[in-house]
Structure 1
């Protein structure tokens, strides 16, 4: 199989597993109802790669922020379970952990076992390929 054919096959698999989507961050402080924008969400993360909470800039309350995954054609929500929004450091740490345990991070594995990580990889790095290259 040629390189081009493998790339087409990977893209086809990605679309079967995930479809075409857009992600939108959602973070509304449960304490003061302040709606955080992306910059405020990112600024509110700690340096701990295992702490997924952000901090409200208004009241300093910690809480989880989420990604809303929508079908890019119908604009309907695709994921019924919440997808926690992770910062780049957390995303990279999760990728490293999976790579250490499994030896690789396959797209089909993510589709079945860790959609949260997949959506955060795409959110921060643009594509699956760009995300994987960050580990090298």
Structure 2
């Protein structure tokens, strides 16, 4: 009969074997979940290489972008061909698909024509691909504009109700970035609710099952 101590040690060994890639995939999935909860519309990165039909995971798609303001393609890790990735939102009866842009392309577009003066809705009408890509890469439009030295004053409404389910599941810093507030604000609020903070060990246990 296997004792409890052996079972615990086996579980700990399994947790230690969780790869960095698995951890990053889990973190990205959670980031997508938070972003969708805050901004609505459940967009997820997808892509299929037209040459070999390989479908990379979202984290692989993001790694395959070029640091180029004009090239929106990612690279296929299977055959090396480049192709366009998308963000897709599936509803009950229809789906919406927009191009997925890399961080460099997003910042280049936002930095033109005084776009920091426009509301999120105005930016969505002008280029939904950029806005949805910006939210996934930077958490908020405010964070994206800050990267290029611009101040963006449009705030996210009712953000506490939207992100409370993620307290302790993601780091206070990541949640703060998704709603445009500091890590300290999230930490203080979480502690007031007596919710245990995020830890890599707990994350590994969730991944390991």
2:145 is paired with a residue whose SS is helix
Q: How far apart, in 1, do the equivalents of 2:44 and 2:116 lie?
A: 31
Superposed counterparts of 1:6-21, under 5 Å: 20-21=40-41
Task: Answer with 1 or 2: which has the greater Rg.
Answer: 2
Does residue 26 of structure 1 match 2:41?
no
- Larger strand share, 1 or 2: 1
Q: Report what 2:60 is aligned to.
A: 40
**Contact 1:55 1:63 (8 Å CA) reproduced:** yes
Q: How far apart, in 1, do the equivalents of 2:106 and 2:129 lie?
A: 9
Structure 1 residue 78 displacement after superposition: 5.4
Structure-1-length-normalised TM-score:
0.69
1:21 is paired with a residue whose SS is coil
**Contact 2:116 2:145 (8 Å CA) reproduced:** no
Q: How far apart, in 2, do the equivalents of 1:98 and 1:69 lie?
A: 29
Long gaps (5+) in structure 1 = 1-18
Q: Report what 1:7 is aligned to.
A: none
Q: Report what 1:11 is aligned to.
A: none
Q: Report what 2:188 is aligned to.
A: none
**Contact 2:107 2:145 (8 Å CA) reproduced:** no
Q: Report what 1:112 is aligned to.
A: 125
**Contact 1:110 1:118 (8 Å CA) reproduced:** yes
Structure-2-length-normalised TM-score:
0.47
Given the superposition, is the C-alpha separation of residues 125 and 119 from structure 1 closer, same or farther in structure 2, using an over 3 Å criterion? same
Which runs of structure 1 show a deviation greater than 4 angstroms over 4 or more consecutive aligned residues? none
| RMSD, matched Cα | 2.2
- Larger helix share, 1 or 2: 2
Q: Report what 1:123 is aligned to.
A: 136
How many residue pairs get matched?
111
Q: Report what 2:110 is aligned to.
A: 95
**Contact 1:95 1:105 (8 Å CA) reproduced:** no
Long gaps (5+) in structure 2 = 1-38, 150-209
